[in-house]
């Protein structure tokens, strides 16, 4: 069938966040810069020293050792036998944005300020929550014309617009390499969106985790069309759209980015027409002069979509460019069509900047064509929302992994020296959905299926082992090579509701409270609330002078923290009598640096098998303190740091006795002969320890 998307010719389009006249000027300036070689990542490729770091998110040392012992990971086992393997201590909490920020800065959260996936602003008392390492901030200004508000960015107006900001603080290790002329190449780097600037022109970076789709969603928002869909709302990461066929034709719309030039922003829409074959299990999808024909169970290639941004009548409309893939799940009896999140078009991104320099994205696309650009690419939400079955999620996730291997080949072919960092997400996101190494009942699968799909995680490990072998064979004689993960993994069968526990023990009131900020449910009485939990691991005191409605005085703080910590450590699971919480960390015990006072007062470290509940992350206060996890997301790592170390493999012996994430940045700098700055508390993993374990932020067995 014809699954290749053809695009009708169209003129170049401006960035919607830049006035047309300024866009034209910018285009001319960029063209001049490219002509003289100022912005291309083609420069400075050759460098004598070579260091390669491959990030395999969530790769677990226990599973690695079992598979190595069984002869299933021969290339990793070869490194182990030569002294190049140790567990790698993770961050606290062991959440990816925190862990990768530790890697990036060589420091803990007290320096970089990323404490969780979810942060709160104490001055707004839970009215505003935001993603830990990036946020869109600023007020919209502009010239009001009818229904529009048009920003005039030039003098004398100098209107400002909301923009995404990288909130991670501290100095990333590559700044020190950039300054001394070491070429740095980073692909799908987590926790660096928007990409930080290369001040000296020696760093090229493709942003990874944290990069939004074209609609601005950090996790990506799929769109689903079916005849049996009744829900018009987004069910946690997806838009479900009902279809009604007249004969064998149905009409619907793909939703795109908001038109922020309107006083009341509205989503942009693209009409799609679906023609179902009257007898065969096939369908044709038409939009914007393009067509694809799919068999049932077939995926399209990447398809381009242009979303028109309506401007006032005296100005030309602009467009934003996206790509997506269509998957025809079923033709009859219930027509079902899945569409990936609308990714930023890497071949024509307009004003969307996800690489440093901006032109690096189009350079990659010139070679590889279209590819996923969102930070989260495996669509676990489609599986959680039962749009996908296990087999379909595995297939879509393997598309992601195949694309990543193609990008790796591109990166290795271009690499001639300096630092190369490359990131894989499959070892993490497939594990979240498929990992299950226990005889206990699985949340959503039969015992046979739990075993079967746990095998999918092992398949990913085998593929990664093959990549390890190729990299070591190609560069092992001339490069220092490290393969690392930010944390490990474990089952997630039971979920703890800390806000329910706080309420039941009198720290959060009234007893009828059901949510911290949802006005449709009973809210806290902040005048009678001493503590609350938000995010995955954080617990905050309602501290006077910090929280908008704080009541706990500084003199009460220490005793209250001791009391709450002691109570949490005493929590037992009524199902089996086992302790739920392994450690409760004081922020002062595990963090160092100028931002410690921004951290949660306590961080809850769960035992394996347990985690904070889904409702806790955004301020839920359910009735029960402990319930079963009933989601397809059945494995996790946001527990006690000691329980889930990551891995470190190298083609050189690892001599540091207990290496942790904060050792990675100093190791890289030392390899290039660059002095380690004082913000970094670690040292080279290839040298014996120079600090005592008491000085380390977290101690690992």
- Give 127 or 279, the one with higher predicted confidence: 279
**Model confidence pLDDT, tens digit, residues 333-386:** 999 999 999 999 999 999 899 999 999 999 999 999 999 999 999 999 999 999
pLDDT band at 438 (very low <50, low <70, confident <90, very high): very high
Which pLDDT score is estimated for 153? Answer: 79
Token pair for residue 603?
């961080």
CA distance 77 to 212: 37
Distance CA 540, CA 458 (A): 38
Whether 263 has a pLDDT exceeding 90, the answer reads no
Average pLDDT over residues 452-459: 97
| 3-state secondary structure (DSSP) of residue 447 | helix
Cβ-based neighbour number of residue 69 at 10 Å: 11
Q: Is 539 in contact with 533 (CB distance < 8 Å)?
A: yes
CB distance 344 to 319 below 8 Å: no
Higher pLDDT, 694 or 356: 356
Q: What is 277-334 written as a DSSP string?
A: -SSSSEEEEEETTEEEEEETTEE---EEEEEEE---TTS--EEEEEEE-EEEEE-SSS
pLDDT at 619 over 80: yes
pLDDT band at 17 (very low <50, low <70, confident <90, very high): very low
pLDDT of residue 697: 40
Of 425, 430, 447, residue with least CA distance to 438: 447
Count of C-beta atoms within a 10 Å radius of residue 197: 14
Residue 133's pLDDT is: 81
- Over range 229-237, report the average pLDDT: 65
226 sits in the region (left: phi over 0; alpha: psi -120 to 50; else beta) called beta
- State residue 576 phi and psi, 5-degree precision: -140, 0
Reference 621, options 491, 528, 531; nearest CA is: 531
Q: Mean of the per-residue pLDDT values for the chain?
A: 90
Q: Which residue has the higher pLDDT, 429 or 9?
A: 429
Q: Which of 50, 351, 374, 338 is nearest to 206 (CA)?
A: 374
Which of these, 318, 374, 324, 372, lies nearest to 350 by C-alpha position? 318
Pairing label, strands 238-242, 222-226: parallel
Residue 356 token pair: 């440093």
Q: Calculate mean pLDDT across residues 439-468.
A: 96
Q: Give the model's confidence band at 30: pLDDT under 50 very low, under 70 low, under 90 confident, else very high.
A: very low
Under the banding of pLDDT at 50, 70 and 90, the label for residue 29 is: very low
Output the pLDDT for position 411: 98
User: Which of 98-102, 232-236, 262-266, 542-546 bottoms out in mean pLDDT, i.e. has the lowest?
Assistant: 232-236
> What DSSP line would sit under 624-684, residue for residue?
-SEEE--SS--EE--S-GGG--EEEEESS----SS-BGGGHHHHHHHHTTPPPPTT-----
pLDDT of 468 > 90? The answer is: yes
Give yes or no for a contact between 240 and 231, defined as CB atoms under 8 angstroms apart: yes
Residue located via tokens 């029960």: 624
Query: Does residue 456 carry a pLDDT above 90?
Result: yes
Mean pLDDT over 672-690 rounds to 94
Find the mean pLDDT for residues 505-511.
97
pLDDT in tens, 391-401: 999 999 999 99
The pLDDT of residue 690: 67
Quote the pLDDT of residue 35: 39
Pairing of strands 626-628, 290-295: unpaired
The pLDDT tens digits for 275-317 are: 999 999 999 999 999 999 999 999 999 999 999 988 888 888 8
pLDDT at 233: 55
461 pLDDT exceeds 60? yes
In this predicted structure, the answer to whether residue 621 has a pLDDT above a threshold of 80 is: yes
Cα–Cα distance for residue pair 603/520, rounded to 1 Å: 29
Query: What is the chain's percent helix, strand, coil content, to nearest 5?
Result: 25, 25, 45
List the one residue out of 499, 506, 639, 503 whose CA is nearest residue 579: 639
Residue-range domains of the chain with CATH: 493-632 (3.30.1360)
Q: Are 680 and 105 in contact (CB under 8 A)?
A: yes
Mean pLDDT confidence for 527-554: 97
| Per-residue confidence (pLDDT) for residue 229, from 0 to 100 | 73
Confidence at 155, pLDDT banded by 50, 70, 90: confident
Predicted local confidence at residue 40, as pLDDT: 60
- Residues 182, 183, 187, 188: is their CA dihedral positive or negative? positive
Residue length, the chain?
A: 701
> 645 in helix, strand or coil?
coil
The whole-number average pLDDT for the span 467-473 is 98
Is 50 exceeded by the pLDDT of residue 23?
no
What is the C-alpha separation between 679 and 676, in angstroms, rounded? 8
For residue 83, the tally of other CB atoms under 10 A from its CB is: 12
pLDDT at 37 over 80: no
3-state secondary structure at position 620: strand
- Count CA within 13 A, CB hemisphere, residue 361: 24
Q: What is d(CA 195, CA 206) in angstroms, rounded to the nearest whole number?
A: 8
Contact 495, 628 (CB under 8 A): yes
Q: Which residue has the higher pLDDT, 501 or 232?
A: 501
Rounded to whole angstroms, the Cα distance separating 604 from 579 reads 13
Tokens representing 495?
């979920």
Contacts of 456 (CB under 8 A, 6+ apart): 394, 430, 434
């Amino acid at each position: 069938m014809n699954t290749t998307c053809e695009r009708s010719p169209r003129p170049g389009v401006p960035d919607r966040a830049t006035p047309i006249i300024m866009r034209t000027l910018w285009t001319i300036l960029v063209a001049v810069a490219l002509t003289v070689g100022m912005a291309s990542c083609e420069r400075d490729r050759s460098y004598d020293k070579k260091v390669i770091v491959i990030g395999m998110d969530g790769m677990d040392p226990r599973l690695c050792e079992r598979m190595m012992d069984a002869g299933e990971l021969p290339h990793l086992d070869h490194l182990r036998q030569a002294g190049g393997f140790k567990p790698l201590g993770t961050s606290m909490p062991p959440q990816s944005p925190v862990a990768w920020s530790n890697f990036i800065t060589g420091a803990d959260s007290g320096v970089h300020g990323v404490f969780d996936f979810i942060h709160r602003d104490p001055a707004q008392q839970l009215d505003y929550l935001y993603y830990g390492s990036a946020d869109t901030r600023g007020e919209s200004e502009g010239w009001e014309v009818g229904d529009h508000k048009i920003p005039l960015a030039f003098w004398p107006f100098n209107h400002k617009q909301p923009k995404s900001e990288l909130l991670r603080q501290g100095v990333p290790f590559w700044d020190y390499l950039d300054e001394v002329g070491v070429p740095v190449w980073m692909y799908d780097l987590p926790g660096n969106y928007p990409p930080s600037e290369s001040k000296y022109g020696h760093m090229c970076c493709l942003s990874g985790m944290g990069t939004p789709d074209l609609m601005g969603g950090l996790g990506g928002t799929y769109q689903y069309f079916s005849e049996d869909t009744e829900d018009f709302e987004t069910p946690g990461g997806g838009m479900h759209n009902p279809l009604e066929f007249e004969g064998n034709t149905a009409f619907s719309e793909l939703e795109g980015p908001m038109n922020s030039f309107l006083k009341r922003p509205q989503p942009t829409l693209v009409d799609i027409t679906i023609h179902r074959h009257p007898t065969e299990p096939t369908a044709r999808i038409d939009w914007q002069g393009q067509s694809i024909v799919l068999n049932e169970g077939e995926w399209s290639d990447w398809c381009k979509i242009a979303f028109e941004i309506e401007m006032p009548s005296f100005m030309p409309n602009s467009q934003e460019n996206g790509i997506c893939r269509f998957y025809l799940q079923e033709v009859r009896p219930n027509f079902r069509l899945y569409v990936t999140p609308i990714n930023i078009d890497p071949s024509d991104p307009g004003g969307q900047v996800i690489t440093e320099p901006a032109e690096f994205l189009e350079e990659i696309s010139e070679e590889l064509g279209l590819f996923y650009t969102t930070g989260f690419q495996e669509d676990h939400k489609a599986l959680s929302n039962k749009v996908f079955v296990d087999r379909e999620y595995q297939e879509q996730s393997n598309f992601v992994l195949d694309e990543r291997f193609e990008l790796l080949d591109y990166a290795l072919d271009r690499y001639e020296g300096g630092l190369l960092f490359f990131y894989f997400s499959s070892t993490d996101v497939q594990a979240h959905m498929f990992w299950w190494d226990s005889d206990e009942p699985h949340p959503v699968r039969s015992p046979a299926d739990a075993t079967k799909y746990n095998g999918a995680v092992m398949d990913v490990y085998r593929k990664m082992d093959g990549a390890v072998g190729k990299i070591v064979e190609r560069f092992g004689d001339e490069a220092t090579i490290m393969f690392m993960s930010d944390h490990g993994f474990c089952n997630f069968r039971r979920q703890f509701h800390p806000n329910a526990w706080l309420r039941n023990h009198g720290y959060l009131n009234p007893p009828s409270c059901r949510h911290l900020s949802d006005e449709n449910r009973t809210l806290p009485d902040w005048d009678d609330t001493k503590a609350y939990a938000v995010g995955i691991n954080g617990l905050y005191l309602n501290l006077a002078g910090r929280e908008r409605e704080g009541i706990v005085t500084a003199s009460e703080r220490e005793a209250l923290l001791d009391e709450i910590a002691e109570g949490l450590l005493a929590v037992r699971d009524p199902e089996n009598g086992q302790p739920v919480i392994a450690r409760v960390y004081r922020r002062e015990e595990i963090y160092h640096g100028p931002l410690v006072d921004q951290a949660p007062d306590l961080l809850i470290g769960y035992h394996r098998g347990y985690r904070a509940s889904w409702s806790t992350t955004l301020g839920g206060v359910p009735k029960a303190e402990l319930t079963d996890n009933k989601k397809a997301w059945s494995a996790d790592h946001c527990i006690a740091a000691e329980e889930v170390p990551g891995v470190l493999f190298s083609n050189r012996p690892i001599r540091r006795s207990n290496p942790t994430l904060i050792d990675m940045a100093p190791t890289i700098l030392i390899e290039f002969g660059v002095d380690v700055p004082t913000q970094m508390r670690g040292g080279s993993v290839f040298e014996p320890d120079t600090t005592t374990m008491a000085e380390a932020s977290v101690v690992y067995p």
